[in-house]
Amino acid sequence: MADLTSNFIGIKSPNPFWLASAPPTDKEYNVRRAFEAGWGGVVWKTLGEEGPPIVNVNGPRYGGIYGGDRRLIGLNNLELITDRPLQQNLQEIKAVKRDYPDRAMIVSLMVPCEEDAWKTILPVVEETGADGIELNFGCPHGMAERGMGAAVGQVPEYIEMVTRWCKQYTRMPVIVKLTPNITDIRKPAEAAHRGGADAVSLINTINSITSVNLDTFAPEPTIDGWGAHGGYCGPAVKPIALNMVAEIARSAETANLPISGIGGVSNWRDAAEFMALGAGNVQVCTAAMTYGFKVVQEMISGLSQYMDERGITSTSEIVGRAVPNAKDWQDLNLNYIAKAKIDQDLCIACGRCFAACEDTSHQAITMSDDRVFEVQNDECVACNLCALVCPVENCISMEAQAAGTVDERTGKVIPEEYANWTTHPNNPTGAMCNVMPEDG
């Protein structure tokens, strides 16, 4: 079994799977169960400043989106930060860390944007023996309305300022958790970097309304007839999170800034994908909330098998390996030609590929009277929709066409050379002197 030991900004854990700061990490009881199940670390649910505890709604706090077979693929949460007394949380954090010294214990924090508030809370957290802190600049509801959470995360100057305070007043590593509710994720990441952050973690949840009750005409989750936007997470947000992680990882300004990847990580494969795009480790929440803490065991065995099969001996070998391949659209090779291919032995003749192509795409699949579906290479642009709607795995694939052969759709020979939009003749701003993809 592969060695999954993780060292993220100097914080060691037996595996790279941490539980994100969220309802599952709000109490000693839950966190002990998580560690018993095998989680490598936890980010304790966000602590606020000393004082009257936070108040939560007691109607539904979550809303959900289902995929097939009533699988929860998206979760909306409008719970706030911990609603338990600060001292109680601190005592529990200390007790758990004492009993599980090999696990990562990160404490998420959110106090007002005032230097004193941060200066006050940091020493008491440090006293627990925690391995690091995560600054919650991401919560999109409730706390944001009070000038915290996403309200900070949306203003790079505030991020930089608070990060700097934290680096000044604690020796603990500082992770800045970013909100995705912005237009360019690189800006807040750069601000954290400037402020001296040891790492960023992302994404926090996305502003969302999961559904509307069509009897009461109230957004859901509905509290006494009204709804408010909450934070969206779960498998549905993974593509958004992957892109944001990649944006930071491949940006020159933040290329060396460690990233803790968050957003819909549900299994070992998701975790490995985040790591390949630059995340040093991952944080998980919805998968645990959906299936319980035991899911980490599949993540551990799966990542281990993957690494063994490829002779990878350390998780750090995975980190960032896909980053050089993450490009802008304009970099993509326009001379690359693929065609859909249907494996007739696997085909169950449902005809979904035909409907998708005929109705909404390129009329590149024909259907015979006896329900044989065939790709017409002279129409196929390899858009991949047929493969995506096919219910049988690997039945439809996109086959690269060899350079030097003729693309039946254009009638032109496929060039060997790489050529992208920047050099394309149709590009009004492009250089006109290079190889023209359409001209062979």
Q: Which residues make up the interface to other proteins (CB under 8 A)?
A: 68-70, 348-352, 354-355, 367, 371, 391-392
- CB nearer to other proteins: pick between 327 and 371: 371
- CB nearer to other proteins: pick between 332 and 348: 348
As measured in angstroms, the least distance from the Cβ of 217 to other proteins is 17
CA dist list (Å): 396 to 153, 365, 378, 385: 43, 12, 17, 10
State the Cα–Cα distance between residues 381 and 402, nearest whole angstrom: 15
Which residue pairs from 249-253 have beta carbons closer than 8 angstroms and sit at least 24 positions apart in sequence?
249/277, 249/278, 249/279, 249/320, 249/323, 249/326, 250/278, 250/323, 250/326, 251/186, 251/189, 251/190, 253/186, 253/190, 253/193
Q: Are 17 and 262 in contact (CB under 8 A)?
A: no
As measured in angstroms, the least distance from the Cβ of 223 to other proteins is 23
Helix (H) or strand (E) holding 125: helix 115-126
State the Cα–Cα distance between residues 422 and 144, nearest whole angstrom: 42
As measured in angstroms, the least distance from the Cβ of 233 to other proteins is 24
Annotated active-site residue in 139, 285, 380, 395:
139
Kindly state the tokens that stand for 437: 């993809």
- CB nearer to other proteins: pick between 196 and 351: 351
In single-letter form, the type of residue at position 323 comes to: V
List the beta bridge partners of residue 365. 375
Active site residue 395: no
Count other Cβ atoms within 10 Å, centred on residue 236.
Answer: 19
As measured in angstroms, the least distance from the Cβ of 222 to other proteins is 18
Q: Of 39, 53, 61, whose CA–CA distance to 89 is shortest? A: 53
As measured in angstroms, the least distance from the Cβ of 371 to other proteins is 7
- CB nearer to other proteins: pick between 70 and 171: 70
Burial 270-297 (b: 16+ CB within 10 A, else e): bbbbbbbbbbbbbbbbbbbbbeebebbe
State the Cα–Cα distance between residues 25 and 29, nearest whole angstrom: 9
- CB nearer to other proteins: pick between 330 and 344: 344
- CB nearer to other proteins: pick between 326 and 389: 389
As measured in angstroms, the least distance from the Cβ of 374 to other proteins is 14
Residues carrying an active site annotation:
139
